[in-house]
């Protein structure tokens, strides 16, 4: 599995925060901050939109770095992705993602 697949199965290469970071695109950072602020009901600033990818060493958005329950759990269990965890099918944390994203679920099931 590519390093750009997050613990939850999402594809970081398609994430606009990563794209903005890699391309140093401040206009995209502003767009993403505005969209994510509205979606999550919290203030997200363009400065927070910096991420190289969930499983890669480097900068992450504040949520991904320390608040994402899936990432924190996977790091604690020392699994490559949630697909390597025996409890994945019953896990409420990853269910928030794979319950709404068929592609992410399929990536984890192949792991």
Q: What is the pLDDT of residues 28-58, one digit of tens each?
A: 999 999 999 999 999 999 999 999 999 999 9
Residue 111, pLDDT above cutoff 70: no
Higher pLDDT, 99 or 1: 99
Average pLDDT, integer, range 59-86: 96
Reduced DSSP (H G I as helix, E B as strand, rest coil) percent helix, strand, coil of the chain, to 5:
60, 0, 40
Beta bridge partners of 11: 5
- Asked if pLDDT for residue 16 goes beyond 90, the answer is yes
What's the whole-number mean pLDDT along residues 69-76? 97
Q: Quick one: CA torsion of 23, 56, 93, 32, rounded to 10 degrees?
A: -10
DSSP code of residue 70: H
* Structure confidence at residue 1 as a pLDDT band (50, 70, 90): confident
């Amino acid at each position: 599995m590519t390093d750009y697949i997050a613990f939850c199965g999402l594809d970081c290469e398609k994430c606009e925060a990563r794209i903005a970071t890699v391309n140093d695109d401040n206009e995209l950072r502003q767009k993403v901050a505005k969209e994510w602020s509205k979606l999550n009901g919290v203030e997200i600033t363009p400065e927070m939109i910096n991420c190289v990818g969930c499983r890669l060493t480097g900068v992450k958005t504040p949520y991904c770095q320390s608040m994402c329950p899936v990432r924190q759990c996977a790091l604690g269990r020392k699994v490559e992705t949630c697909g390597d965890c025996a409890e994945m099918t019953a896990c409420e944390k990853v269910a928030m993602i794979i319950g709404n994203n068929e592609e992410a679920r399929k990536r984890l099931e192949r792991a």
